[in-house]
Amino acid sequence: MTNKNLEWNQFEQILKFITYNYDKDDFYATIPDNHVIIGGKNKGYTISKLRLYQNARDTTIQIDNVVFYCELLTRNTDNSVLLRVEYKDDIDEPKIKKIQQTRLIKYIEAMLLGFDKYGKQYEDNPKEFFEDDLKIYDGFGNDAW
């Protein structure tokens, strides 16, 4: 990629397993439309969300020579979290296609949930990230299809 052929690109996705709580001013891992029951000796506890204690709303991820600027956005009308990603890509021969966008979204969500150690390590293995096959990984090292 030559610098003169680069242009800014952006994509956004509402995250499925991350929500925001304005009362606590923090992000939560959630189980949509479900919950987990943990049984104790005398009592059971129902968990539908878990506080993530996020220190920041934005970060950068570099995979090969592409730098992704990632930001978590919230709105006060609901508790949804929008992931916005901006990056520069070649105008004539783009490296980032829909498959790479989907992989990056799953990778970021896995990192937020604390599962990044168990999934694909795209920063260490960019070849897997840039493959154009139809496999989409769920961020935890498994094929999602």
Q: pLDDT tens digits, residue range 99-133?
A: 999 999 999 998 888 886 766 688 888 998 998 76
**Is residue 139 in a domain?**
no
**Is residue 114 in a domain?**
yes
Residue 30, both tokens = 């959630």
Number of domains in the chain: 1
Q: Residue 128: which H helix or E strand, with range? A: helix 126-130
The structure's pTM equals 0.78
Task: Please tell me the predicted confidence (pLDDT) of residue 48.
Answer: 72
Q: What is the mean pLDDT of residues 42-62?
A: 82
CA proximity to 130, closest of 69, 80, 65: 65
Confidence of residue 34 (pLDDT cuts 50, 70, 90): low
**Is residue 48 in a domain?**
no
Beta bridge partners, 51, equal 28
**Is residue 145 in a domain?**
no
Cα–Cα dist 87/99, whole Å: 15
**Is residue 19 in a domain?**
no
CA proximity to 58, closest of 76, 67, 48, 70: 70
**Is residue 34 in a domain?**
no
**Is residue 102 in a domain?**
yes
- Reduced to 3 states (helix: H, G, I; strand: E, B; else coil), residue 138 is coil
